[in-house]
Structure 1
Amino acid sequence: MGQKVNPISFRLQAHKKWDSRWFAPKKDFAKFLIEDDKIRNAIEKRFASRPTIDRVEIERTENLITIAIHTAKAGVVIGKGGAGVQELKAQLEKLVSLPVRINIEEVRRPELSAKLVAENIAHQLERRINFRRAVKMALQNVMQAGAKGVRIEVAGRLNGAEMSRREKFSEGSVPLHTIRADINYHGARAQTAAGVIGVKVWINKGERND
């Protein structure tokens, strides 16, 4: 089962929480879901040139949508004098049916974010850096940041090889069935000249008792 279940959804009842938090009547559910997807896609596209966005949390009330953007580089998102946030707010309000409020929260240790690590490796692969070098540097940085364990998988035509293959790298302990283990997971895609290379990252931050 540990091979098939997303580690985050597997722990939702224990210590993880949904990134979209709202209730809606049946007639509005599909509309709100599509709006959330548009919000996430717009934010990811705006900052796609380099990995900066860790996660986007969305909360709805009757007359407001609150968007919390967790980022490794708050200055890039906020922009000069807050101009970046205002532009983003105006862009998002064109996509949704309610006014938008944006909160920027800085990620203290980006090395412990599976999304940022996966996207960083994917960007390096797109720049034709050797996959072993990129992955081993990521493993080293994650462990130095205080993780209990990390596991990284890359799959595809690695280094432009004729045959696609899957390579796995790990350090420390990454338990798949221990629900109290705080596992952060993300999958990213690198679009290379040889084809798409998939990158999956699991980071074990230790056990939680709350």
Structure 2
Amino acid sequence: MGQKIHPKAIRLGYIQDWQSRWFAPDKMPELIKEDFEIRRMVKEKFHLATVSWVDIERAGSYLKLTIHTARPGVVIGRRGVDIENLRQDVESLTGRKVFINVAEIKVAELDARLVAESIAIQIEKRVSYKRAIKRSMEKTISSGAKGIKVMVAGRLGGIEIARREWFRKGRVPLQTLSADIDYGFTEAMTMMGKIGVKVWIFKKLFFAKTPRDLMEQLKKLETESAGQGIAGKTPPDRKEDESVLKKDSDDNNSRG
């Protein structure tokens, strides 16, 4: 099932969190539609800002948006004009008091959505898809990822019959729930039609995969704690040592 299901969906509640956080069982369809419209609005307004995802939180009559982007300056705009216009549009859509935060993505090469968009942009500029994928994979691995997998589908290279190709570097354990795997999808609009781009990035393991790894982690922690304990011991007082030595010498003289 790890090959079929969305990598983030299978890890929700385990190592992944929901991007929409609210509870309203009576208004579930309306709020889901609102979330869809809000994300579509953000994508259309800031299609040049490399926005990866948008978190939505609701509490009473308040709504909080967190926009995760690699270019926060483009989202905020000059003197905050663009972000203020977005806030007004969302308030008119939802009828709630809206607060917007902009979170910067420090390493864009480790975000699957942004990597997929980078590959799609290069394909649209008529760069060879193999060259674009290879370049993006090398950047991702050099940025600290443990593995990356890319799939492209469509009329690759202008051929008449569409096909799909897979590329992988490193390892991507899709069925390991403790593996932090990011997933992104986008489409490249070319003269020959759409080309789909899917990207999986394996960042790290949150927990030990095997009992042996767990024991190694425990031994490492014990060694570090023991080292801290030895370093933390205070030497005995020098005067106490001198008094003890003097007492022992007096006892020996009396016996002699």
1:94 Cα shift? 2.1
Query: Is residue 2:190 matched to residue 1:192?
Result: yes
Q: 4+ runs of 1 displaced by more than 6 Å? A: none
Please give the alpha-carbon distance, in whole angstroms, between the structure 1 residues aligned to 2:135 and 2:108: 14
- Please identify, of 139-148 and 126-135, the stretch whose mean Cα deviation from structure 2 is larger: 126-135
- Please identify, of 94-103 and 195-204, the stretch whose mean Cα deviation from structure 2 is larger: 94-103
1:209 Cα shift? 2.8
Contact 1:59 1:66 in 2 (8 A): yes
Letter in 1 for 2:15: H
1:141 Cα shift? 0.8
Contact 1:51 1:120 in 2 (8 A): no
- Please identify, of 53-62 and 92-101, the stretch whose mean Cα deviation from structure 2 is larger: 92-101
Aligned to 2:81: 83
In the TM superposition, what are the counterparts of 1:132-143 in structure 2 within 5 Å? 132-143=130-141
Please give the alpha-carbon distance, in whole angstroms, between the structure 1 residues aligned to 2:157 and 2:131: 11
**CA RMSD, 1 decimal:** 1.3
In the TM superposition, what are the counterparts of 1:63-78 in structure 2 within 5 Å? 63-78=61-76
Aligned to 1:22: 22
Aligned pairs, how many? 208
1:83 Cα shift? 1.2
Contact 2:49 2:71 in 1 (8 A): no
Contact 2:65 2:98 in 1 (8 A): yes
Please report the TM-score for the alignment, with normalisation by the length of structure 1.
0.96
Contact 1:35 1:96 in 2 (8 A): yes
Contact 1:64 1:100 in 2 (8 A): yes
Choose the corresponding residue for 1:171, options 169, 172, 192. Answer: 169
Contact 2:50 2:114 in 1 (8 A): yes
1:13 Cα shift? 2.5
Higher strand share: 1
1:123 Cα shift? 1.5
1:97 Cα shift? 2.4
Contact 2:173 2:179 in 1 (8 A): yes
Query: Is residue 2:39 matched to residue 1:40?
Result: yes
Contact 2:65 2:101 in 1 (8 A): yes
Letter in 2 for 1:181: A
Higher helix share: 2
Letter in 2 for 1:137: R
Letter in 1 for 2:46: F
Q: Deviations over 1:51-80 (max 9, x none)?
A: 610110000010110000011001010111
Distance 1:51 1:150, change over 3 A: farther
Percent identical pairs in the alignment equals: 44
Aligned to 1:125: 123
Structure 2: stretches of 5+ with no match in the other structure: 209-256
Q: Deviations over 1:139-170 (max 9, x none)?
A: 01100110000000001001211121111111
Please give the alpha-carbon distance, in whole angstroms, between the structure 1 residues aligned to 2:203 and 2:33: 32
Letter in 2 for 1:47: F
Please give the alpha-carbon distance, in whole angstroms, between the structure 1 residues aligned to 2:170 and 2:203: 11
SS of residue in 2 equivalent to 1:155: strand
Contact 1:51 1:116 in 2 (8 A): no
Please give the alpha-carbon distance, in whole angstroms, between the structure 2 residues aligned to 1:97 and 1:81: 25
Structure 1: stretches of 5+ with no match in the other structure: none
Distance 1:25 1:176, change over 3 A: closer
Q: Deviations over 1:122-151 (max 9, x none)?
A: 121122211011101110110011000000
Please give the alpha-carbon distance, in whole angstroms, between the structure 2 residues aligned to 1:184 and 1:79: 28
